[in-house]
Amino acid sequence: METRAHHVLIGLFTMIVVVAALLFGLWLAKSSSDRQFSYYQVVFNEAVTGLSQGSAVQYNGIKVGDVTQLKLDKQDPRKVLAWIRLGGDTPVRQDTHAKLALTGVTGLAVIQLSGGSPGSPPLESKNGELPVIVADPSPLSRILANGEDLVMNINDVVARASTLLSPENMDRIGRTLDHLDKATGAIADQRDDIRTLLKQLAEASRQANDTLAQTQKLVQSANGLVDNQGKATLDSARNALASVERVTANIDRLVNDNRASINGGMQGFSELAPAIRELRDAAGSLRGVARRLDDNPTGFLLGRDRSKEFVP
């Protein structure tokens, strides 16, 4: 019995030693793994369509790690939390940026890290939590979010293009091109006539310019004559009207002053005769001016008399 008890104890001790050795080996392996990798948390404020556990993490186009876990934020479901594992020598700094991107060939979604100036301190954990990197808005996410509208717009454009390129429209376009070809051919055949027509148009334009210049000179001359002769005529008419006004004023004054004499006898008529005579002369002068203006207004204004007609 004692021999059997000793064998049981020896076997139990051996198993304990083996298990302890295995646990120690696992701990060493875990410690070595922890020393080789660094863990970070990336916060996305948008959808991460195409990103999954195991997706690559790139830094300036170089793969430096992968995604270990994805889940929604319990406090704000609009946010997506991604745990990433990077190589221990990856220089992640406080100004390092992250965004969702597509690989060039496969089109798979990856997390793209960029930035990180040399003067920025390393990004470290606080209060025992993983260091956090807030991702920048990605154009890829906006494209994927609006993908349905984009596809509908593309379908609409394709439908309109199909309608535009219908057989009827293509036939009309063909006829239009044929007409243009014929028109250009006809124009090419009439090159000499067109050249002659252009020369005639140029000559007519030159003659029109000369005519306009002569007309302008004539108008300037007429303006000068009207300004000079017309001014003199208007001054003469103004003087005649002033004379009539004076005569009228003298008549009024004489009538007012000699009203009693006129009522009593003929004495006022002897004093009124010179004024009436002057009024008659002024009226005759105005009649002469009016007659000349009526017979030959241009000659009278421009200072030229009408040529007398010869009467046999």
Torsion of CA 143, 149, 150, 154, to 10 degrees: 170
Write down the pLDDT at residue 101: 87
Q: What is the distance between the alpha carbons of residues 25 and 30, in angstroms, rounded to a whole number?
A: 9
Strand-pair partners of 122: 93
Q: Determine contact, residues 254/272, Cβ cutoff 8 Å.
A: yes
Write down the pLDDT at residue 118: 87
What distance lies between CA 67 and its chain's CA centroid? 47
| Residue 146 CB coordination number (10 Å) | 11
Long-range CB contacts (within 8 A, 24+) of 16-24: none
Write down the pLDDT at residue 307: 47
Nearest to 98 by CA among 142, 40, 37: 40
Write down the pLDDT at residue 311: 42
Q: What is the distance between the alpha carbons of residues 238 and 243, in angstroms, rounded to a whole number?
A: 9
Give pLDDT tens digits for 6-44: 666 677 778 887 888 888 777 766 655 555 888 999 999
Low-confidence spans in the chain with pLDDT less than 50: 1, 306-312
> pTM of the predicted model, to two decimals?
0.41
Give pLDDT tens digits for 207-220: 878 888 887 877 77
